[in-house]
Amino acid sequence: MTTKIILAFTCAALLIQPALARDAMPPQSAVEHFTLDNGLEVVVIPDHRAPVVTHMVWYKVGSADEPAGKSGIAHFFEHLMFKGTARHPAGELDSAVAELGGNLNAFTTADVTAYFETVPPDALAAMMDFEADRMRGLGLTDDVIGAERDVVLEERRQRVDSSPQALLSEEFTATLYQNHPYGIPVIGWMNEMEQLNRIDAVAFYDRYYAPNNAVLVVAGDVDADTVRTLAEASYGKVERGPDLPPRVRPAEPEHNTSATVTLSDPRVGIPSFMRSWIVPSYRTAAPGEAEALDLLSEILGGGGRSRLYQAVVVKSGIAAQAGAGYDGGAYDPSSFSIYGAPQGNHTLDDVETAVDAQLAALTADGVTAEELDSAKARYLRNLIFARDAQQNMAQMYGSELATGGTVEDIEQWPERIRAVTAEQIQAVARKYLNPAIAVTSHLLPPATGAQ
């Protein structure tokens, strides 16, 4: 399943792959998708099992869209969105949701920024009023900017600078992406974050925060007619913003060498490694390739039934953990990774050798029909549980639409997974997972080599 571990710096849970098992989805006719006159896309996902509604606003902007030298402005602006407007002072939204017994949060990734509230259905109109108001009505004074900049600087110190895993991840990602802005941390580089100011914030706000650059998703105990009426009465009054050009970011050059990034730190007790490659995302892949990469990650290292876990953890006991992951939900080409950590007296070299051997065997010999059928069933069956949480449903649809996909892409995804062949999985492994161009990270205790 797709994750955003490398690319996302979230203030909430990590995003979930925007793909659903056929049986996990509401009936196709139940999901409504329409656009207001000012360009705001709206998705309604009815779920009447409980009197709860999740209201999410997705902006089609993330850290990879930031101007050069302004890293961190997207995440910084996520914080500023809670500072209040003339109609709703700072803290009023938080208090309103708390009084209802609901919850709210926000997150920023390389590709999107999203805001959400989970509340009773009769509070939906109020949530729309809050979000529509701050879409264009923020009060961005120098005092607000300075105080909140200090907050995000401290957030970086606590969540990145104090964590060897996070520090290595930043250096690793900056090495993996030689030219694309995915190599810049979502929270930003400290020296650039310190310089962010009111002029930067206002320019970012005016450029990206507008209804025609946003997607509204409402999931829960609602119907499409009610949502349309409420959305037109609130969001519909917000003026359309300037039309933005296509999201064309700097492209990666051809990778011709391997690289290794190593960090030794006294806070590290057990060494670990990760090895990654640039691969296409669902949006950029040739037909069938992204689905094959998804299933490759599941078969190779997607859980307790995977090759890596069974061979390297269970049977040989070499590793305490081993796995693989594919970030197919990114807007631009993203990454495929394998990873592991040793167990007992085994060394990190032992783990790397064992993991590499499993990848080499799969690349050379392919996967069996039984493995493929089992992975498809497991993959789709696991996603059925996504329906139990309406926030997951809202995230799936919102993430897909905010990164260039469609409702139809989500509905057709299960059949595309079912259509993947063993030959396609072997082909993408051979095409993309070349050890000669991999980037590897080693996280080590002090005075310890990658042994």
pLDDT tens per residue, range 280-316: 999 999 999 999 999 999 999 998 889 999 999 999 9
- Residue 102, SS3 per DSSP: coil
Assess whether 210 and 320 both reside in one domain.
no
Task: Provide the phi-psi class of 220: left if phi over 0, else alpha when psi is between -120 and 50, else beta.
Answer: left
385 — pLDDT class (breaks 50, 70, 90):
confident
Q: pLDDT by residue (tens digit) across 38-95?
A: 999 999 999 999 999 999 999 999 999 999 999 999 999 999 999 999 999 999 999 9
Assess whether 315 and 181 both reside in one domain.
no
Assess whether 216 and 283 both reside in one domain.
no
Residue 199 located in a structural domain: yes
Assess whether 270 and 196 both reside in one domain.
no
Within 10 A of 165 (CB to CB), how many other CB atoms are there?
Answer: 14
Residue 367 located in a structural domain: yes
Residue 16 located in a structural domain: no
Assess whether 66 and 180 both reside in one domain.
yes
Residue 131 located in a structural domain: yes
Averaged pLDDT for residues 129-149: 96
Distance separating alpha carbons of residues 204 and 198, to the nearest angstrom? 10
SS3 content of the chain, % helix, strand, coil (to 5): 45, 20, 35
Distance separating alpha carbons of residues 327 and 11, to the nearest angstrom? 19
Candidates 118, 85, 83, 88; CA nearest to 104 is 118
Assess whether 52 and 192 both reside in one domain.
yes
Assess whether 298 and 226 both reside in one domain.
no
Residue 17 burial by Cβ neighbours in a 10 Å radius (0-12, 13-18, 19+): buried
Residue 328 located in a structural domain: yes
Assess whether 181 and 280 both reside in one domain.
no
- Residue 329, SS3 per DSSP: coil
Assess whether 166 and 292 both reside in one domain.
no
The residues pairing with 57 across neighbouring beta strands, listed in sequence order, are 115, 216
Q: pLDDT by residue (tens digit) across 193-227?
A: 999 999 999 999 999 999 999 999 999 999 999 99
Assess whether 46 and 148 both reside in one domain.
yes
Residue 225 located in a structural domain: yes
Assess whether 95 and 162 both reside in one domain.
yes
Residue 380: alpha-carbon gap to chain centroid:
20
Range of the domain at 228: 31-237
Q: Tell me which residues are annotated as active site.
A: 78
Averaged pLDDT for residues 126-136: 98
pTM for the full model? Answer: 0.92
What is each CA distance from 363 to 254, 410, 429, in whole angstroms? 21, 29, 6
- Domain termination site, one of 237, 272, 302: 237
Looking at the chain, the whole-number percentage of residues with pLDDT higher than 90 is: 87
Query: What pLDDT is recorded for position 450?
Result: 47
Assess whether 285 and 434 both reside in one domain.
yes
Residue 197 located in a structural domain: yes
384 — pLDDT class (breaks 50, 70, 90):
confident
Instruction: Tell me which long-range contacts 227-234 makes (C-beta under 8 A, separation of at least 24).
Output: 227/32, 227/42, 227/44, 227/124, 228/34, 228/42, 228/44, 230/124, 230/125, 230/128, 231/36, 231/40, 231/42, 231/128, 232/36, 233/125, 233/128, 234/125, 234/128, 234/129, 234/131, 234/132
Domain count, the chain: 2
CATH of the domain at 47: 3.30.830.10
Q: pLDDT by residue (tens digit) across 81-109?
A: 999 999 999 999 999 999 999 999 999 99
Residue 370 located in a structural domain: yes
